[in-house]
Amino acid sequence: MKRTFALSLLAAALLATGLPASAQDLSRASPVTSSVLATSVVSLAMITAPVWLSALGVSELHDASMPHNRAARAAAKKAGPLPPLTVERVAQQPDGGYRVDLRNPEAPQDLAVMEWPARADNPAAGVKVGDVLDFKPTPAGAGWTVANANGAALAFLPTTTAAATSMSERF
């Protein structure tokens, strides 16, 4: 409510300073002049009040949502470094997409799977068993750039958070 009071006080001050000097001294004003002035001020307040109140409400909603957004962004898991993974199997799916099974050579129990939907420029088409794929985290941490042993980028692999909040369905 402090903000509403401050806005009201500011509006009154602006109105008072905008009046001519003869209208500011209401002690010698005629009843008609003071009536017109009072009607003008009340009309202006009635017309602009919904605008000011709406702006205040939107501002408070925005301010209330900001801590939540900051907390969600801070809690979002960012892409970190991954070891190079060896391709164990490349299989074309019935829908035309590809499934690539990967293994971490440093920890053979760690397995991973990548799937690409069917498309003309399918990155899995050039991948074969035994290839080593490198996963470099993007600067913003939204995922990894998957590259083959020659360093050629094959695809972008988003984190689960980035995939859930993305406006695009193709990665």
How is residue 118 written in tokens? 């069917």
| Residue 97 and residue 129 in contact, taking contact as beta carbons nearer than 8 Å | no
How is residue 159 written in tokens? 């984190």
* CATH class of the domain comprising 85-165: mainly beta
The 10s digit of each residue's pLDDT in 77-110 is: 788 888 888 999 988 889 888 888 999 888 888 8
Whether pLDDT at 147 is above 50: yes
The string of DSSP codes covering 75-102 is HSPPP-----EEEEEEEE-TTS-EEEEE
Banded model confidence at residue 136, pLDDT cuts 50, 70, 90: very high
The 10s digit of each residue's pLDDT in 17-36 is: 555 555 455 556 566 666 77
Strand partners, 99: 91, 115
Q: What is the pLDDT of residue 13?
A: 53
- Domain boundaries in the chain? 2-75, 85-165
Sign of CA dihedral 118, 119, 125, 131: negative
